[in-house]
Amino acid sequence: MKPAELFLGILTAVGGFVDVSELVFMSQAGSRFGYALIWVVVLSTIGIMVFGEMSGRVAAIAKQPVFNLMRHRLGLQLGIVTLIASFLSNLITSLTNITLKEIVDDDLAGRGVAGVPVTVISPNFDVHDTAVVDMGLIHIAMDYGYMRAADVMSGTDPHPVAPTDAFTLSDAIIRLRTDTHRMAQLWNRPLEAGSNRTLEELRLRKWLIRKLVEARIASGVALPKLATLWFQRWEQGSSTEPNEPSPWDEFVTFAETRTGIAYANPSATEATVTVTVLSSAGLALGSKVVQLAPNAHGAANLGPLLGLNSFTGSVQITSTVPIVSLSLNAEAFPVFSALPPGDLPNGTLLATGH
């Protein structure tokens, strides 16, 4: 088969079935009728596949366009009718594409109607594409739209040579939230080997989100209502939700009698913090419940806190609301070392106490 013949078959098979106008009309039908007409999409897709495959084979073998063959088989009159119908269909499609482009260009030009000015609010990047159905990304995109609108309406929309802090923060916060959400989706099993290294990176990212939100608040430009909680929670739909309710409500690490722990509650809700010490065999040696008021903090050495004279094992800290926790180990006075959450494989007794 010659390349020209193959190209003729592929060109005939494609036929321009998927274009902007079709996407617009299908989106409108979905918004009006919901899933009631989903069967039409399935049926028409199968029909297009059959017709496209058949047209490609016919054009490649017969070395003639499909409409030319239809004219020979059906006669001149029916052939002309089919050709005119196809021409009108293509004309309507082309006019629709041109109209949509003109509407978009006119809106973005900001000319308005009858001299009324138009304020254009648009993102600098797409949080997700149209084919993605992810509630976390959808909510992030909605928050981005809110902040971009606040940027523009508050007069802080940047000029090419003078970007403002609020505008820059909008992009930085949303990009970081988007990347963190995607990373959290890959973190399916918190107790798998290496998982706590990923958790530490996620916590660092969440902490950076908090700092960026604080900078945004300091700029005086509006934020969505729950923006101060973005660092405390996973995004909706994250695969970590069933395994780890929050990035900040459970900590486990190596510990011994002289290990010191510090904890702080940055939220507006009282936290019930449970400190459990486990032996190296995974047996619970003692537990202490601490009530931590909003914006309060505390610290203690594990031995005196739980009345233990000597032990080597691990400490597990859980909380009813997100908290910040740090462990310090007394090496040799006055040397201390920080103890981040350990790298515990799935089923490690130190992490579960069973």
Residue 191 resides in a domain: yes
Residue 105 resides in a domain: yes
Residues 206 and 140 in one domain: yes
- Residue 268 contacts residue 329 (beta carbons within 8 Å): no
* pLDDT tens string 11-35: 555 555 555 556 666 766 776 777 7
d(CA 28, CA 31): 5
Residues 256 and 347 in one domain: yes
Domain boundary, last residue among 198, 229, 260: 229
What's the total number of domains in the chain? 3
* pLDDT tens string 210-241: 889 988 888 888 899 889 888 888 887 665 55
Which residues in 123-147 are b (16+ Cβ under 10 Å) and which e?
Answer: eeeebeeeeeebebbbbbbebbbbb
Q: Which residues does 14 contact at the CB level (< 8 Å), separation at least 6?
A: 52
Residue 122 resides in a domain: no
* pLDDT tens string 255-301: 888 888 888 988 888 999 999 888 877 788 899 999 999 989 999 98
Residues 212 and 257 in one domain: no
Residue 16 resides in a domain: yes
Residues 276 and 205 in one domain: no
Residue of 70, 71, 55 whose CA lies nearest to 16: 55
- Residue 256 contacts residue 299 (beta carbons within 8 Å): no
Domain boundary, last residue among 59, 92, 109: 109
Residue 117 resides in a domain: no
Residue 236 resides in a domain: no
Residue of 344, 353, 289, 292 whose CA lies nearest to 322: 292
Residue 265 resides in a domain: yes
Residues 223 and 257 in one domain: no
**Strand partners of residue 297:** 264
Pairing mode, strands 271-279 and 335-339: unpaired
Residues 154 and 84 in one domain: no
Q: Domain containing 164: what range? A: 135-229
Q: In which band, very low, low, confident or very high, does the pLDDT at 331 lie, cut at 50, 70 and 90?
A: low
* pLDDT tens string 93-112: 777 777 766 666 665 555 55
CA angle 277, 234, 185 (to 5 degrees): 100
Q: Which whole-number Å values give the CA distances from 185 to 126, 176, 189, 236, 339, in the listed order?
A: 19, 14, 10, 11, 26
Residues 86 and 39 in one domain: yes
- Residue 196 contacts residue 202 (beta carbons within 8 Å): no
Residues 10 and 105 in one domain: yes
CATH number at residue 298: 2.60.290.11
The pLDDT assigned to 207 comes to 86
Residue 283 resides in a domain: yes
The pLDDT assigned to 106 comes to 63
Residues 192 and 271 in one domain: no
